[in-house]
Amino acid sequence: VQLVESGGGSVQAGGSLRLSCTDSGLTYGSYCLGWFRQAVGKEREAVAAADVDGAKIYADSVKGRFTVSQDNAKNTLYLQMNSLKPEDTAMYYCAARGYCYISVGLFGGDVGFGYWGQGTQVTVS
């Protein structure tokens, strides 16, 4: 299993980026897939996740601006990021695990995510 992120870059505040995460070793649709980020000097935080049953969850800081989606036929997870802010600057990672209980209110952040990509940098100025 090797998750590979792409789509990061530098953008001005208010701009948009779309991150992608692909892997040929996972059967998308059978895993909970999440986007996480870590800014310099800060702890890693969950940004968004899409569960096996279709439930989705977003960090309060990105609600209404970011959208997580996946194309199971292409084994690709996306994160559409609009209205970007300087505080969104971070390394963004995708990760996968089994069912992550979003629909029952028990999503536990990065707990249980065993597969991780190398990350893609997003810089907003």
| 118 closest CA partner among 23, 31, 48, 28 | 23
Single-letter code of the amino acid located at 86: P
Contact 7, 76 (CB under 8 A): no
Residue 106 is predicted with a pLDDT of 86
Tens-digit pLDDT profile for residues 37-49: 999 999 999 999 9
Residue 20: count of CB within 10 angstroms of its CB: 17
Mean pLDDT of 74-98: 96
**pLDDT at site 81:** 98
65 Cα distance to chain centroid: 13
Q: How many CB atoms lie within 10 A of CB 71?
A: 12
* Amino acid at the residue 47: V
Q: What letter represents residue 18's amino acid?
A: R
Q: What average pLDDT score do residues 9-37 get?
A: 91
